[in-house]
Amino acid sequence: MKKVCMISLGCPKNLTDSEELLGSLCSSGGCQIIQDENKADIAILNTCAFIAPAVKEAVSEIKKLINLKKTGRLKKIIVCGCLVEREKEKLKKKFPQIDSIVSTRSLDKINLAIEKNGSYLENSGNRLISPDYKLRLTVKHSAYLKIADGCDNLCSYCLIPALKGRFRSKSMEMVINETKALIKTGAKEISLIAQDSTNYGIDLYGKPVLTELLKKLIKIPKLKWLRLMYVYPDRLDRELLKLIKNEKVICKYLDIPLQHISNNVLKAMNRKSTEKSIREKIAEIKKIVPDISLRTNFITGFPGETEKDFQKLLNFIKETEFNYVGIFPYSKEKGTTAFNLKYQIPDKIKRKRVNLLIDAQSAVIDKINGRMINKTARILMDNTAYGRTFQEAPDIDGSFFVTSEKNLKPGSFVQAKIIEAMGYNRKAIV
């Protein structure tokens, strides 16, 4: 029996692909899945290639696997995912030690890639379907469920449409059945993910139907937390916000990628939002769901971003008090429309702006932490010592160190008093 090791890079959306790949291998038989590439016969590397640092990480992993193969410990290297989609046949020419490459839209060919070396780049179909089986790579009580893939937004800085293709959704029936299957494996928290969750269903039903999907999912027994990731502000309506407010199963948490607040930059990014629409949407969210936890991402150093544009973004972060913010320097990616824009910002200025934004968000976190002290929160334990409230998504946000006289079990909910909070190091006591 072949020993196979999976190395999954990148975001949760990539992780779900890795889970499906492993599930396919397990279902077909003949493979034993192990965690240590040093003891594997075959290594599968599922890559991210969204921006240059992700490409660099993927290449570093490829070189590491090639060195293992040279020692004779590893017999076969298979590279999957976005780097394959970005480089295609060039990847095998650059690294001839790779035995098979599989693109993001041909992942169902993984069994063929195991048996026969070669390139699997053809599109297996535009329809997105649920896997027959997934081998979970997350903790037992928390799972990701990809409800759609691809993207139609065509932001000028982004390669996702080129790498992942057009937006395509799973049917409601598929998502419901997959949710039930995840719950049977022990999942209490399910995070719904897509490149644009609020666009869910438009390709199948002629309009976005995320709210209708949620209404069906919250009726499924034993589902405790349902979390929404990658929610675009332009399609976030009052009906969805009221559902979040009124339904206990849906976490009062939204991951909303905003990217900037200056109209000049937003227009250059080909974003649909404006400063006015963003500010109005944030106000609406907080009015309808006052205790909402908001996460967002911002890009600074975009071509043409003036000092005035940057100061507007800096002040917006200070004023709005997001619970969590991801801050990234603009990455110039070949194949995007922004690649050829004039007025590229020097790296030195980009780094300075990133640090100033991080400092501003750190001050916001200090304020939020101050309001936490001595409050009681419901915490989902990820292990015996650390857990999260509804305000923290798995893997990307903070957590709480929880102390108790009783043994705390992973996957259990506890009521705990928050006694200390410094940055993202927070403590609570049961």
**Six-digit token string for 348:** 């030195």
Local confidence pLDDT in tens for the 430 residues of the chain: 889 999 999 888 889 999 988 888 887 777 889 888 888 999 999 999 988 899 999 999 999 999 999 998 899 999 999 999 999 889 999 999 999 999 888 888 898 999 999 999 887 766 666 677 788 899 999 999 999 999 999 999 999 998 888 999 999 999 999 999 999 999 999 999 999 999 999 999 999 999 999 999 999 999 999 999 999 998 999 999 999 999 999 999 999 999 999 999 999 999 999 999 999 999 999 999 999 999 999 999 999 999 999 999 999 999 999 999 999 999 999 999 999 998 999 999 999 999 999 999 999 999 999 999 999 999 999 999 999 999 999 989 989 999 998 899 999 999 999 999 998 889 999 9
User: Taking all residues of the chain, what is their mean pLDDT, rounded to a whole number?
Assistant: 93
Query: Given this model, what pLDDT does residue 127 score?
Result: 67
Contact 315, 273 (CB under 8 A): no
Query: Given this model, what pLDDT does residue 135 score?
Result: 87
* Strand, helix or coil for residue 402: strand
Query: In whole angstroms, what is the distance from residue 135 CA to residue 278 CA?
Result: 39
DSSP run (H or E) holding 417? strand 413-422
Query: Given this model, what pLDDT does residue 125 score?
Result: 66
The strand ranges marked E within 85-222 are 100-102, 118-120, 142-146, 148-149, 168-169, 189-193
Contact 13, 146 (CB under 8 A): yes
Query: Given this model, what pLDDT does residue 1 score?
Result: 81
pLDDT one-digit tens code per residue, 234-288 = 899 999 999 999 999 999 999 999 999 999 999 999 999 999 999 999 999 999 9
Query: Given this model, what pLDDT does residue 50 score?
Result: 86
Query: Given this model, what pLDDT does residue 102 score?
Result: 93
Domains and CATH numbers, the chain: 2-120 (3.40.50.12160), 142-368 (3.80.30.20), 376-429 (2.40.50.140)
Query: Given this model, what pLDDT does residue 122 score?
Result: 83
In our burial notation (b when 16+ CB lie closer than 10 A, e otherwise), range 212-223 reads: bbbeebeeeeeb
Query: Given this model, what pLDDT does residue 126 score?
Result: 66
393 by Cβ neighbours in 10 Å (0-12 / 13-18 / 19+) ranks as: buried
DSSP run (H or E) holding 204? helix 202-205
In our burial notation (b when 16+ CB lie closer than 10 A, e otherwise), range 153-188 reads: bebbbbbbbebbbebbbbbbeebbebbebbbeeebb
Q: CB under 8 Å, gap of 24 or more: what pairs does 282-290 form?
A: 282/320, 284/238, 284/241, 285/236, 285/241, 285/254, 288/238, 288/241, 288/242, 288/245, 289/241, 289/244, 289/245, 289/252
Contact 317, 354 (CB under 8 A): no
C-alpha distance from residue 42 to each of 1, 36, 235 (Å)? 11, 11, 43
Query: In whole angstroms, what is the distance from residue 338 CA to residue 29 CA?
Result: 46
The Cβ of residue 139 has, within 10 Å, a number of other Cβ atoms equal to 17
Query: In whole angstroms, what is the distance from residue 226 CA to residue 244 CA?
Result: 10
C-alpha torsion sign, points 29, 34, 35, 40: negative
The Cβ of residue 326 has, within 10 Å, a number of other Cβ atoms equal to 14
- With a CB cutoff of 8 Å and minimum separation 6, the contacts of 227 are 189, 190, 191, 192, 250, 251, 253, 393
CA dihedral 84, 88, 91, 97 (to 10 degrees): 80
Query: In whole angstroms, what is the distance from residue 159 CA to residue 52 CA?
Result: 11
- With a CB cutoff of 8 Å and minimum separation 6, the contacts of 187 are 140, 141, 142, 143, 223
Query: In whole angstroms, what is the distance from residue 101 CA to residue 121 CA?
Result: 8
pTM to 2 decimals? 0.91
* Strand, helix or coil for residue 255: strand
Query: In whole angstroms, what is the distance from residue 384 CA to residue 395 CA?
Result: 16
